């Protein structure tokens, strides 16, 4: 017996409208969180803390009886200036939901299965919320109940079957992969407190993204001035140093770690470096040589240059900026981003972790 689908009846239209509304709210949440990516209340939030995010209301129109007309009143509209403004309501998210909203559009680019663990596996991906299903989503159900109460202008509303929301999933086959990401930060004297704050914010979200999305990813931390050394994660994010700058020391240490511990036949290798771009001028060619050498074994090298004048033009000191020097020689797989404040952190993350569209961001 054939089953008709997509009849265009009101029930189908309502379901499509609800799906459209959920997608719209999800986009609003993502945009709001990306704008707030550097705020302390998010960075300092523990696993139990919830974040408040404003979302524009989706007003649902319905026909009502015009009692004024029934009593002989005119059909004049409201007086000028009395129309209500745009309505918003607040959505509370825990950190797991914040990270899920932020990271769902990011991936490690050019990630390939490697020789030693190339066995296929499948992954259950909970990718949507529906009105029917086997697994009740308590948070989504509670949120729907609260939103319905807000639309009614009430503090709370009795539970209704329409409040129920269920998780749905797909089973996605994917190869098991392993990767190492080498994070390198300039901690020399030329890096101001503001520069270091942006670098740490960028690396904070990078680490959160990697640990949330991947199980077979190692992260190692390198800090450098005129010398580079491997650090613990805690030292990387908290220790303050100063001194001159030899950027090549960081890339050469990355090369050594890769050769000794992460053969390219078995590992996807990524390098991410953040600096203000100030470097000892004769060292720039040595940096470029190290970058070219690393690209023989790396899936991606990302360089984040931090620092700008208020007008938006990047400073050009007597030593020159490293980003300009790196652009002189096209290197396939090298991605460069430049930021001046917190608002540039999300675009930089998107550049480095594009979904295999990295060619659009690669230096040419």
Mean pLDDT of 179-205: 93
Confidence class for position 160, pLDDT limits 50, 70, 90: confident
Q: Are 254 and 267 in contact (CB under 8 A)?
A: no
Query: In this predicted model, what pLDDT tens digit does every residue of 254-306 receive, in sequence order?
Result: 999 999 999 999 999 999 999 999 998 899 999 999 999 999 999 999 999 99
Average pLDDT over residues 353-362: 60
- Chain-centre distance for alpha carbon 4: 40
More confidently predicted of 171 and 322: 322
Across residues 10-34, what is the average pLDDT?
A: 58
pTM score of the predicted model:
0.65
- Cα separation, 254 vs 113, whole angstroms: 22
Check whether 138 has a pLDDT greater than 70: yes
Q: What are 305-344's pLDDT values in tens digits?
A: 998 543 333 344 434 589 999 998 888 899 999 999 888 8
pLDDT at 354 exceeding the cut of 80: yes
* pLDDT at 119 (0 to 100): 45
Number of alpha carbons in the 13 Å side-chain half-sphere of residue 255: 16
Lowest mean pLDDT among 34-43, 223-232, 348-357: 34-43
């Amino acid at each position: 017996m054939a089953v008709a689908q997509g009849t265009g009846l009101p029930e189908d239209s309502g379901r499509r409208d609800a799906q459209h509304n959920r997608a719209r709210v999800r986009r609003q949440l993502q945009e709001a969180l990306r704008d707030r990516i550097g705020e302390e209340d998010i960075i300092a939030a523990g696993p139990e803390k919830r974040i408040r995010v404003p979302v524009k209301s989706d007003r649902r129109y319905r026909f009502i009886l015009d009692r004024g007309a029934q009593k002989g009143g005119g059909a004049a509209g409201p007086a000028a200036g009395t129309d209500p403004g745009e309505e918003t309501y607040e959505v509370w998210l825990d950190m797991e939901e914040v990270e899920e909203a932020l990271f769902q559009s990011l991936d490690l680019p050019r990630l390939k299965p490697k020789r030693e663990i190339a066995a296929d596996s499948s992954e259950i991906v909970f990718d949507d919320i529906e009105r029917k299903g086997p697994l009740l989503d308590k948070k989504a159900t509670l949120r729907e109940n609260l939103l319905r109460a807000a639309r009614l202008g009430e503090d709370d509303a009795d539970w209704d079957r329409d409040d129920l929301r269920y998780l749905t999933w797909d089973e996605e086959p994917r190869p098991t992969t392993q990767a190492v990401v080498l994070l390198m930060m300039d901690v020399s004297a030329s890096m101001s407190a503001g520069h270091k704050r942006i670098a740490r914010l960028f690396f904070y979200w990078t680490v959160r993204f990697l640990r949330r999305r991947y199980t077979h990813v190692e992260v190692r931390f390198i800090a450098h001035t005129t010398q580079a050394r491997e650090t613990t994660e805690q030292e990387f994010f908290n220790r303050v140093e100063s001194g001159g700058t030899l950027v090549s020391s960081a890339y050469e240490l990355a090369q050594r770690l890769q050769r000794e511990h992460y053969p390219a036949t078995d590992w996807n290798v990524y390098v991410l470096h953040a600096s203000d771009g100030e470097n000892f001028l004769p060292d720039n060619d040595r940096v470029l040589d190290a970058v070219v050498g690393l690209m023989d074994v790396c899936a991606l090298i990302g360089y984040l240059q931090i620092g700008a004048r208020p007008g938006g033009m990047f400073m050009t000191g007597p030593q020159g900026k490293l980003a300009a020097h790196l652009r002189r020689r096209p290197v396939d797989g090298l991605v460069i981003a430049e930021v001046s404040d917190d608002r540039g952190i999300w675009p930089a993350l998107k550049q480095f972790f594009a979904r295999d569209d990295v060619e659009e961001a690669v230096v040419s």
